[in-house]
């Protein structure tokens, strides 16, 4: 018999996860907006959907918590009983806060990213070691996973892999702008960047960034000229500082 997973919340992240998990688990989804629940059921028929009313008995359930961090205050008093496990995707919400607000035997914090919609998330996980194997199994259905030992590391990972798609989007846009600046049509420049990123994915999975760079950069060549300009303009240090700022912000938010 398939294990049952219980989603609380049916927004973007819940939907991305449900698409990856459907067929492998029995899925039940509790949401407060009946019309959006009905729309989800229309899209994915195998779901059991339930309205989230004044109270919900979570006794013995394996919960995937998919609401916004600031909804925890309002939601938690409605949850009665003790869940078997609680998987939270709430950005910046500490295990300690989850333990205070919702009763469960074991807790996991997961940090997926927006690529979950394509089952290509880079998800970091931390929490009770007893749930490690199961957490990896569940979240592997929406992409790759990495188990981290501490919450500090998951806050850093939030900056790298959570915010990362936005940082890569900036690089992608800048490359396209550069092409247009030099005379390419926008549609052609965008098409080149799309192809570049999809070709880059298997390369970065199999080689270090420095190896890729060295394999392209010939002495006195075009890449070397462009690379020197990138360094002169502080792109590397800008990215390092961006990760630092995003990490500091994650720490600040998790204290609220
Ligand atoms: N999206 C991402 O890329 C991403 C990445 C990493 C982590 N996360 C985390 O995933 C979580 C969900 O994000 P999301 O993008 O899926 O947000 P979302 O699309 O806004 O979905 C939030 C869901 O929570 C429900 N909800 C809100 N307040 C509630 C309350 N008081 N009681 C019950 N249900 C409530 C919403 O219901 P209504 O439809 O009625 O408002 C909706 O179903 C967040 O904690 C976020 O930090 C998201």
- The CA distance from 142 to 64, in Å, is 14
Q: Dig out the tokens for 181 from the structure.
A: 């600046």
Closest C-alpha to 138, from 164, 114, 108? 108
State the chain's mean pLDDT as an integer. Answer: 96
Q: How big is the chain by its Cα radius of gyration, in Å?
A: 21
Q: Does 18 contact ligand 1 (Cβ within 6 A)?
A: no
Whether residues 138 and 227 share a domain: the answer is no
Whether residues 170 and 220 share a domain: the answer is yes
**Nearest ligand 1 atom, CA 68:** 45
Domain stops at, among 121, 148, 175: 148
Which residue from 13, 123, 139 has its CB within 8 A of the most atoms of ligand 1, so it is best to mutate?
A: 13
- The CA distance from 25 to 28, in Å, is 10
Q: Does 135 contact ligand 1 (Cβ within 6 A)?
A: no
Q: Does 75 contact ligand 1 (Cβ within 6 A)?
A: yes
Do 25 and 19 meet the contact criterion of CB atoms below 8 Å apart? no
Q: Dig out the tokens for 185 from the structure.
A: 């049509």
Whether residues 141 and 204 share a domain: the answer is no
CATH code, domain carrying 138: 3.40.50.720
Closest C-alpha to 121, from 13, 45, 256, 254? 13
Say what the pLDDT of residue 224 is: 98
**Nearest ligand 1 atom, CA 88:** 45
pTM above 0.85, yes or no: yes
pLDDT in tens, 113-127: 999 989 999 999 999
Q: Does 12 contact ligand 1 (Cβ within 6 A)?
A: yes
- H-only helix segments in 69-218: 72-75, 95-101, 132-139, 151-157, 164-182, 186-206, 209-216
Residue nearest to atom 17 of ligand 1 (CA): 11
Whole-number Å distance, alpha carbon 245 to ligand 1 midpoint, is 24
Domain stops at, among 114, 148, 182: 148
Q: Does 163 contact ligand 1 (Cβ within 6 A)?
A: no
Say what the pLDDT of residue 256 is: 66
Residue 153 within any structural domain of the chain: no
pLDDT in tens, 172-224: 999 999 999 999 999 999 999 999 999 999 999 999 999 999 999 999 999 99
Do 112 and 17 meet the contact criterion of CB atoms below 8 Å apart? yes
Reading the chain (256 residues) residue by residue, the pLDDT tens digits are 899 999 999 999 999 999 999 999 999 999 999 999 999 999 999 999 999 988 999 999 999 999 999 999 999 999 999 999 999 999 889 999 999 999 999 999 999 999 998 999 999 999 999 999 999 999 999 999 999 999 999 999 999 999 999 999 999 999 999 999 999 999 999 999 999 999 999 999 999 999 999 999 999 999 999 999 999 999 999 999 999 999 999 888 877 6
């Amino acid at each position: 018999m398939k294990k049952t997973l219980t989603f609380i919340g049916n927004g973007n992240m819940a939907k991305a996860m449900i698409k990856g998990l459907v067929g492998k688990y029995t899925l039940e989804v509790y949401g407060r907006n009946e019309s959006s629940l009905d729309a989800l059921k229309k899209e994915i028929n195998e779901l059991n959907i339930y309205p989230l009313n004044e109270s919900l008995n979570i006794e013995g359930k394996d919960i995937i918590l998919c609401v916004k961090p600031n909804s925890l205050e309002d939601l938690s008093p409605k949850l009665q009983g003790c869940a078997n496990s609680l998987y939270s995707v709430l950005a910046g919400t500490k295990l300690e806060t989850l333990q205070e607000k919702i009763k469960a035997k074991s807790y996991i914090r997961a940090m997926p990213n927006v690529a979950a919609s394509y089952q290509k998330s880079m998800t970091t996980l931390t929490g009770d070691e007893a749930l490690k194997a199961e957490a990896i199994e569940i979240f592997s259905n929406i992409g790759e996973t990495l188990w981290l030992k501490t919450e500090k590391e998951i806050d850093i990972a939030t900056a790298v892999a959570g915010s990362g798609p936005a940082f890569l989007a900036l690089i992608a846009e800048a490359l396209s702008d550069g092409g247009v600046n030099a005379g390419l049509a926008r549609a052609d420049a965008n098409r080149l960047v799309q192809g570049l990123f999809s070709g880059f994915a298997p390369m970065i999975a199999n080689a270090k960034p420095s190896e890729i760079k060295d394999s392209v950069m010939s002495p006195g060549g075009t890449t070397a000229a462009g690379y020197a300009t990138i360094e002169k303009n502080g792109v590397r240090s800008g990215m390092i500082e961006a990760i630092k700022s995003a990490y500091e912000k994650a720490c600040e938010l998790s204290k609220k």
